[in-house]
Chains A and B, each alone.
Chain A
Amino acid sequence: MTRMIGTRMIGTRMIGATATALAIALLAGSASAATKIEFFFPVPVEGKLAREMGDIAKRFNAAQSDVEVVAVYTGNYDETKIKAQAAMQAGKPPAVALVSANFVLEFKLNDQIVPLDPFLAAEGTTKDQFLADFWPALHGNATVDGKLYAIPYQNSTPLLYYNADLFKAAGLDPEKPPQNWAQLIDYASKLTKKDGEQRWGLMMPSEYEYLGWLVSAFTMANGGTYYNQSYGGEVYYDAPSTLGALRFFDDAVHKYGFMPEGVTDQKAVSTSFFAGNAAMVILSTGTLSFVRENAKFAYKVAFVPGNLRNAAPIGGGSLVTFKNLPEDQRKAAWTFMKWLTTPQQLASWSRFTGYFAPRKSAYELPEMKAFTAQNPDALIALDQLQRYGQPWFATFNTVAVRKAMEDEVQAVLSGKKKPEAAVKDAQRKADEIMLPYVQSTALTVGTGG
């Protein structure tokens, strides 16, 4: 009998819970006078950024009364892409989204985002005039087929961080960081310690996303372009410049032994650097604030060493607006995007996160001048961007094409494959993935585009 009473109680509770759930669902969604738009954003760095982004939206809402922005946290860059695309297909496109700068091409190829040129034309300006204030290295990933599809918002490049104390201990001059691969190999070998507590000469992240970025950086430093920067159906994975980059990775682990074998994630890299177990690391400039706060020794930053040239591909995120928005939301989206990318807003976000402000004029602001005077290492990162910035890998189906290479490089780092075989297999897989796009574009002749 007690059993039956128990079941009955569950029954009552069931009804109670369902009723509450229904009531909550009904309460959802209320109307307001201002045009309400959604802004999808990922959390790109650590900690309190999600809250700060919410506060930025609140400041915008308080500053004017036409548009009300709801800032929606949407996971990481990949999850933001999944959510934006799923919402788009379900008929609820977000007005504005902060997306990985190298996903812009794919959003465009999928016909999901709209060009911003008409907004600029309505204000009597042009794409070129608008982009003139943005660092040139950022233009490539913001434009597709000559039209502006995205506004850069937060940007980064890889950067070499090194422990000056360990440099001195190894008899190296901390004022003279390695300039090229030969020096990088020489320094890293000298800084490696095998007896006692292990210390690596050089560490860099080799997890998905980070690894593809760094392989492209080394390939570009080796004179290559890595992918066709104006057509989304070609990559140069088995080109000599790429093969040379993979050989550097392979030799670092298996010939000189200054880099750990296997796949290392960025948390392990930054933690090893702080613990003094890695003398040099290559990490994003977006990590600069975090390093500044946590390094308990004299750290320094320098350009990523080049081989045939210096090159630093950009990373980070850009703002896009989606197709099929109602007219009022379309306008509101532009208003918000413009406000977010004013020099003042970009400068303030840059100081908060450690990312570059994409606009040149942001660095002319007094508060930014004071900040860079206090943190001169931020200027080294900026200098590298200005002098050696390169666009970021973007193709049809970017993530899958990127992983085709990353899987192979991880096999090389783990000692399971040689670079020569790896680049061939990566190229073959990438070509397979891009084939549908290639067949519908470059191999289709005379359809008039």
Chain B
Amino acid sequence: MSKALARRSPAQIGSAALLCAIALVWTTPFLWMVVAAFRLESGGSRDMASLLPPLQPTLENFALAFESADFAVYYLNTLLVVGGILAVQLVTISLAGYAFARLDFAGKDVLFTLFLLQLMLVPPILIVPNLTTVVRLGIYDSLLGVMAPYLASAFGTFLMRQTFKTIPRDYEEAALLDGARWWEVLWHVLLPLARPGLVAFSIVSVAAHWNEFLWPLMVVNAPEKRTLTVGLASFAAGAEGGQEWGLLAAGTLLVALPLVVAFLAFQRQFIDSFMFSGVKG
């Protein structure tokens, strides 16, 4: 080990130092949030910019955050929305991706181009038409209404099509020779091999819908159906008043924590998946 270290050139050490510096810059907002969440509010946030951990850490901000918002319900709602969207998406993108990768049908290329074009639309443009559809379906002010527009995913379909295309047809042909039907081929052969693609998509999907704010705000009215982001904003957003930094930091930490923990726990798998599928956040 020490030999290996000694053999490092100054250039390598220099680049390592540079990487550390960049990492520090990137983690500073997160570090600040953690520190501020445990700091007692004093003097109208006079020391709010400090990155030094407080001498007397306090849980008061968290108590205030829990008092200001019904976090247990928000967590449950967010989990239902994120889980529900992902569950349906995995089905729809696998089937659609398979169709575009393996089946031949009239208008396939036109249809696929239309799918890709959908990626170019900015979501806020679709708020009114989507909301109208949601109202007509009778799922306004429900979590299903929050999920509805995302049950199919153009990005996911594209990703699965590309992933399936990288799998040699030999596997499928062997299964077909054994008398497997197309869905058996998809289930037993293609999907297991496409797992990194599915994982990569899942991460993007979960992170996107966990953080989504505007659409849940549009669809949901009842306080008990608020998601975490809407719930957080309901006590953190301010127009003309001041900011309670500690409370804001504690609330934000509560919202972000599950994703951070999940990322740390499955870091290796995440990175493998992204390397495999070539997806970047």
Interface residue ranges, A against B (CB under 8 Å): 3-4, 6-7, 10, 13-15, 17-18, 20-22, 24-25, 28-29, 38, 42-51, 54, 70-77, 79, 82-83, 85-87, 89-92, 156, 209, 266-267, 270-271, 274-275, 283-284, 286-287, 289-291, 293-296, 315, 353-354
The prevalent SS among residues of A at the interface is helix
Whether A42 and B239, one on each chain, are in contact in the complex, defined by CB atoms closer than 8 angstroms, is yes
Whether A45 and B240, one on each chain, are in contact in the complex, defined by CB atoms closer than 8 angstroms, is yes
B-chain residues with CB within 8 Å of residue A29 when the two chains form the complex: 141-142
Contacts A45-B241, A70-B222 given; does A92 touch B87 at CB 8 Å: no
Contacts A73-B226, A291-B242 given; does A47 touch B235 at CB 8 Å: yes
Whether A271 and B221, one on each chain, are in contact in the complex, defined by CB atoms closer than 8 angstroms, is no
Whether A82 and B242, one on each chain, are in contact in the complex, defined by CB atoms closer than 8 angstroms, is no
Of A22, A51, A87, A290, which contacts B235 at CB under 8 A?
A: A51
Convert B59-82 into 0s and 1s, putting 1 for each residue whose CB lies closer than 8 angstroms to a CB of A: 000000000110000000000100
**Considering the chains assembled together, what is the distance between the CA atoms of A15 and B187 in angstroms?**
16
Convert B215-255 into 0s and 1s, putting 1 for each residue whose CB lies closer than 8 angstroms to a CB of A: 00110011101100010011101111111100100000000
Convert B176-201 into 0s and 1s, putting 1 for each residue whose CB lies closer than 8 angstroms to a CB of A: 00000000000110011001000000
A-chain residues with CB within 8 Å of residue B237 when the two chains form the complex: 43, 75-76
Whether B90 and A294, one on each chain, are in contact in the complex, defined by CB atoms closer than 8 angstroms, is no
A400 CB to closest chain B CB (Å) equals: 15
**Considering the chains assembled together, what is the distance between the CA atoms of A286 and B143 in angstroms?**
35
Whether B44 and A47, one on each chain, are in contact in the complex, defined by CB atoms closer than 8 angstroms, is no
Whether B143 and A21, one on each chain, are in contact in the complex, defined by CB atoms closer than 8 angstroms, is yes
Number of A-B contacts defined by CB within 8 Å: 181
**Considering the chains assembled together, what is the distance between the CA atoms of A28 and B45 in angstroms?**
42
Whether B214 and A79, one on each chain, are in contact in the complex, defined by CB atoms closer than 8 angstroms, is yes
A83 CB to closest chain B CB (Å) equals: 5
A-chain residues with CB within 8 Å of residue B143 when the two chains form the complex: 21, 24-25, 28
A294 CB to closest chain B CB (Å) equals: 3
Is B144 part of the binding interface, using a Cβ–Cβ cutoff of 8 Å?
A: yes
Whether A290 and B87, one on each chain, are in contact in the complex, defined by CB atoms closer than 8 angstroms, is no
Is B134 part of the binding interface, using a Cβ–Cβ cutoff of 8 Å?
A: yes
Stretch at the interface among B109-117, B124-132, B164-172: B124-132
Contacts A24-B144, A28-B141, A296-B44 given; does A287 touch B217 at CB 8 Å: no
Q: Which residue of B lies closest to A87 (CB)?
A: B131
Whether A156 and B147, one on each chain, are in contact in the complex, defined by CB atoms closer than 8 angstroms, is no
**Considering the chains assembled together, what is the distance between the CA atoms of A393 and B247 in angstroms?**
33
A-chain residues with CB within 8 Å of residue B83 when the two chains form the complex: 17, 21
Whether B242 and A18, one on each chain, are in contact in the complex, defined by CB atoms closer than 8 angstroms, is no
Is B91 part of the binding interface, using a Cβ–Cβ cutoff of 8 Å?
A: yes
Is B46 part of the binding interface, using a Cβ–Cβ cutoff of 8 Å?
A: yes
Of A17, A46, A156, which contacts B87 at CB under 8 A?
A: A17
Whether B243 and A46, one on each chain, are in contact in the complex, defined by CB atoms closer than 8 angstroms, is yes
Chain B: residues with Cβ within 8 Å of the partner, total of 57
**Considering the chains assembled together, what is the distance between the CA atoms of A141 and B95 in angstroms?**
55
Interface residue ranges, B against A (CB under 8 Å): 43-46, 48-49, 68-69, 80, 83-84, 86-88, 90-91, 127-128, 131-132, 134-135, 139-145, 147, 187-188, 191-192, 195, 213-214, 217-218, 221-223, 225-226, 230, 233-235, 237-244, 247
A-chain residues with CB within 8 Å of residue B214 when the two chains form the complex: 79, 82
Task: Name which of B44, B68, B86 has the most chain A CB atoms within 10 A of its CB.
Answer: B44
Of B48, B91, B230, B238, which contacts A46 at CB under 8 A?
A: B238
A-chain residues with CB within 8 Å of residue B192 when the two chains form the complex: 3-4, 7
Contacts A24-B142, A294-B45 given; does A90 touch B128 at CB 8 Å: yes
**Considering the chains assembled together, what is the distance between the CA atoms of A46 and B218 in angstroms?**
22
27 A–B pairs (Cβ distance < 8 Å), ordered by A: A3-B192, A7-B187, A14-B87, A17-B86, A17-B87, A24-B80, A24-B144, A25-B143, A28-B143, A43-B235, A43-B237, A45-B239, A47-B241, A51-B68, A70-B222, A71-B223, A72-B222, A75-B217, A76-B239, A86-B128, A90-B135, A266-B240, A274-B45, A287-B241, A287-B242, A293-B44, A353-B241
B-chain residues with CB within 8 Å of residue A74 when the two chains form the complex: 217
**Considering the chains assembled together, what is the distance between the CA atoms of A17 and B88 in angstroms?**
9
Of A72, A86, A291, which contacts B131 at CB under 8 A?
A: A86
B-chain residues with CB within 8 Å of residue A20 when the two chains form the complex: 80, 84
Whether B217 and A79, one on each chain, are in contact in the complex, defined by CB atoms closer than 8 angstroms, is yes
Contacts A21-B143, A209-B239, A271-B44 given; does A50 touch B234 at CB 8 Å: yes
Whether B221 and A70, one on each chain, are in contact in the complex, defined by CB atoms closer than 8 angstroms, is yes
Q: Nearest 6 pairs between A and B by C-beta?
A: A294-B44, A45-B241, A274-B44, A25-B144, A286-B240, A46-B241
Whether B241 and A290, one on each chain, are in contact in the complex, defined by CB atoms closer than 8 angstroms, is yes
Whether A44 and B222, one on each chain, are in contact in the complex, defined by CB atoms closer than 8 angstroms, is no
Q: A21-B144, A47-B68 given. 12 additional CB < 8 A pairs?
A: A14-B91, A20-B80, A21-B147, A25-B144, A45-B241, A48-B235, A51-B235, A75-B213, A83-B217, A86-B218, A267-B242, A287-B242
B-chain residues with CB within 8 Å of residue A354 when the two chains form the complex: 241
B-chain residues with CB within 8 Å of residue A266 when the two chains form the complex: 240
Whether A7 and B240, one on each chain, are in contact in the complex, defined by CB atoms closer than 8 angstroms, is no
**Considering the chains assembled together, what is the distance between the CA atoms of A286 and B46 in angstroms?**
20
A133 CB to closest chain B CB (Å) equals: 24
Contacts A3-B195, A25-B143, A274-B45 given; does A45 touch B80 at CB 8 Å: no
Contacts A83-B218, A286-B240, A296-B44 given; does A10 touch B135 at CB 8 Å: no
Q: Which residue of A lies closest to B131 (CB)?
A: A90
Q: Which residue of B lies closest to A100 (CB)?
A: B239
Whether B44 and A270, one on each chain, are in contact in the complex, defined by CB atoms closer than 8 angstroms, is yes
A160 CB to closest chain B CB (Å) equals: 15
**Considering the chains assembled together, what is the distance between the CA atoms of A90 and B241 in angstroms?**
33
Whether A91 and B235, one on each chain, are in contact in the complex, defined by CB atoms closer than 8 angstroms, is no
Q: Which residue of A lies closest to B233 (CB)?
A: A75
A417 CB to closest chain B CB (Å) equals: 27
